[in-house]
Amino acid sequence: MTVTETKPRIEVAGVQKRFGTVEALSDVSLTLNEGEVLGLVGDNGAGKSTLIKTLVGIHQPDAGEIRFDGEAVTIDGPKHARTLGVGTVYQDLALVDELSVAENLFLGRKPVRKLGGVLPVIDERTMAERAERILRERLDIELDPDTPVEYLSGGERQAIAIGRALVTDPDIVLLDEPTSALSKAAVERVEQLVQQLKASGHSVIIIDHNLEEVRSMTDRITVLFQGRTVDTLETAAVSRDDIVSMMVSGKPLGGPANNGADGQSSATQHSTSD
C-alpha cells in the first residue's frame, strides 16, 4: 500500500439511463475519490447532466450501480443526496425568481428553531445571516439577502446557485457548468472556491466546456461520449488536444473504443443533431 491511498466516495458502475428511445447513459463508470476534483467533459448531449441528476436521485438508473463510501445505494432524490453529504449546482440553476436571495439559498431546507423549546418555526434571522456569510466568505460577493433574484445578473444568480449547494455543508460537491455565465473575474472566484473546497478535504465533480478551466481545476478528468465513459485520466498526464480527441472520437488515447462497443452502437440519436 502506498502512503497516498485513495478512498472512493462515489463509485458509478455501468450505469444506464434511457428516456423513451433516447439512451442518455448507456454505460457510465467513474470513481470520485476523497479530496479530489474530478472533471467531467464531453460534447453536448454526452450525458453529463443526466449523470449528475442520477447521482442525486432526480433520475433512477435503469441498470448499473451507484455506491457511496463503498455501499450500493438507491438515492430517492436531492433531499436524500443531501443527507449523504452531497451539494449540487444544477446547470439550469433552478432558482425561483420571485423569492429573495436568502429564500433561494434555503429553498426547501430552512433552518428551524424550536419555539418555547417545542414548536418548530423557521428561523429567518439565522437564515439571512448564514446566507450573507456564505456569499461573502465563499464567493466574495456582497448581496442583500432580501433582494428578489429576478433583479440579479447572470453571474450573481450563478453565485447564489453555488451558495445554495453549500448551505448544508456538504463534503461532496457536484457542479454542473458553474462558470458558464461568468466573467473572467467571476470564473477566478469559482476556481478559488474549488481549490478551497479541495484544500478542506471536499470531493468535487465539475462539468465545464472550457477545457483550460477544467485542466487548471482538476486532478483527474473523465471523458463521456454518447452516454458512455471513454476513459478517466490524470489531468497532469493529458494535453488539451488529447481531451478533445477523446471527446470527438469516443476512443481512449492510443486504443480501441472502450466498454466493448464498436463505437457506433449508441450513436444513433446524436449523430446528426447539434
Ligand X SMILES: Nc1ncnc2c1ncn2[C@@H]1O[C@H](COP(=O)(O)OP(=O)(O)OP(=O)(O)O)[C@@H](O)[C@H]1O
Tell me the three cell numbers of residue 128.
Answer: 439571512
Report the C-alpha gap between 160 and 75 in whole angstroms. Answer: 25
Least spacing, CB of residue 22 vs ligand X, in Å: 5
Q: Are strands 228-234 and 63-68 parallel, antiparallel or unpaired?
A: unpaired
> Binding of ligand X at residue 58 (CB under 6 A)?
no
Listed residue (135, 156, 158, 145) closest to 103, CA to CA: 145
How many C-alpha atoms does 174 have within 13 Å on its Cβ side? Answer: 23
Site string for Mg ion, 88-117 (x = CB under 5 A): ---x--------------------------
> Binding of ligand X at residue 60 (CB under 6 A)?
no
Least spacing, CB of residue 253 vs ligand X, in Å: 21
- Pick between residue 87 and residue 178 the one whose CB is nearest to Mg ion: 178
Least spacing, CB of residue 46 vs ligand X, in Å: 4
Alpha helices in the chain (DSSP H): 48-55, 78-83, 101-105, 124-139, 154-166, 184-199, 211-217, 240-249
Position among 19, 114, 137, 183 found at the interface with ligand X (CB under 6 A): 19
Residue 158 touches which of ligand X, Mg ion, none (CB < 5 to 8 A by kind)?
A: none
- Span interacting with Mg ion, options 43-51, 118-126, 161-169, 250-258, rule CB under 5 A: 43-51
- Span interacting with ligand X, options 40-48, 107-115, 241-249, 252-260, rule CB under 6 A: 40-48
Report the C-alpha gap between 178 and 198 in whole angstroms. Answer: 16
Least spacing, CB of residue 136 vs ligand X, in Å: 30
Is the Cβ–Cβ distance between 140 and 162 less than 8 Å? no
